[in-house]
Amino acid sequence: MRLVTTLLLSAVLIFAVSVTFITVKSQPVIHLSKGLGSVGSSISFTGAGFQPTDATCSLSSPSSNNLIGISSCIIQMGTGLINGGFTVGNVLPGQYLLQATGNQGDLAQTILEVNGGSQLSISHADAHPGAGVSIHATGMLPTDSTCQISSPPSPNVILPGTAACVIQLGSGVAYGGFTVGNVLSGQYVIQITGNQGDSAQTILAVG
């Protein structure tokens, strides 16, 4: 009986030593406060499952360098939890890949859909040389502090020295105006550009 007990204990010990322990590690994930945004809008995010040894994190977009404007990413060291936010940059409507990366190389990705963007409206759908035209733009980047009015294809449609543009910092709203120059009848592109590189366009018909 004692021999049988000894054999059983030996078998248990051998089995225990041969067991391979598998550690299940959760993959990093990131969640956006909203999956749909527009140019200039602010979006926050949270994440989990990052390595507890991560001390810093960063936000990027493999889809477009322009997607992320001002951004922040904070990680709670030892927890694998991150949080932060960003401003949607001047990009075309569509789906973009967003990526949060820990300083140990671990990362999580998600999709942001950008809908719409900067919009520019003018006081006249049609005008004539010498007429005054006022503009109103929305959806510009909230970090814009100055703006300019131009017509890239046809600079002469804006009478030199008459263009003025003012933007309300933090609002993405711009106002301004200009006098139509001495140009032939036709359709002309009018563009407003913020100092962060964002822009909006509309068509002015000169008759």
Confidence of residue 17 (pLDDT cuts 50, 70, 90): very low
Model's pTM, two decimal places?
A: 0.54
Amino acid 50: pLDDT: 96
State percent of the chain over pLDDT 90: 50
Interval 19-32: pLDDT, tens: 444 444 568 999 99
H helix or E strand, kind and range, residue 69: strand 68-76
pLDDT reading at 179 higher than 80: yes
> How do the domains of the chain map onto residue ranges?
25-114, 119-206
Mean pLDDT, rounded, for 166-177: 90
Q: Any residues with CB less than 8 A from the CB of 101 and at least 6 apart, and which? A: 57, 58, 59, 60, 107
Mean pLDDT value of segment 174-196: 92
- The tokens for 164 are 């003025």
Q: How many angstroms separate the CA atoms of 59 and 78, rounded?
A: 19
User: Average pLDDT for residues 166-174, to the nearest whole number?
Assistant: 88
More confident residue, 168 or 124: 168
Q: Which CATH number fits domain 25-114: 3.40.980.10, 3.40.50.800, 3.30.1330.60, 2.60.40.1930?
A: 2.60.40.1930
CA 104 to chain centre: 24
pLDDT bracket for residue 37 (50, 70, 90): confident
DSSP 42: E
Q: With bands split at pLDDT 50, 70 and 90, how would you rate the model's confidence at 33?
A: very high
CATH topology of domain 119-206: Immunoglobulin-like (2.60.40)
Average pLDDT over the chain reads 85
Give the closest residue to 149 by CA, choosing from 91, 185, 202, 187: 202
pLDDT score at 63: 87
18 φ, ψ (degrees, to nearest 5): -85, -10
To the nearest 10°, report the CA torsion of 117, 122, 123, 129: 180
pLDDT at 66 over 80: yes
pLDDT digits (tens, 9 = 90+) for 124-166: 767 899 999 999 998 888 888 999 999 988 999 999 999 999 9
- 166: helix, strand or coil: strand
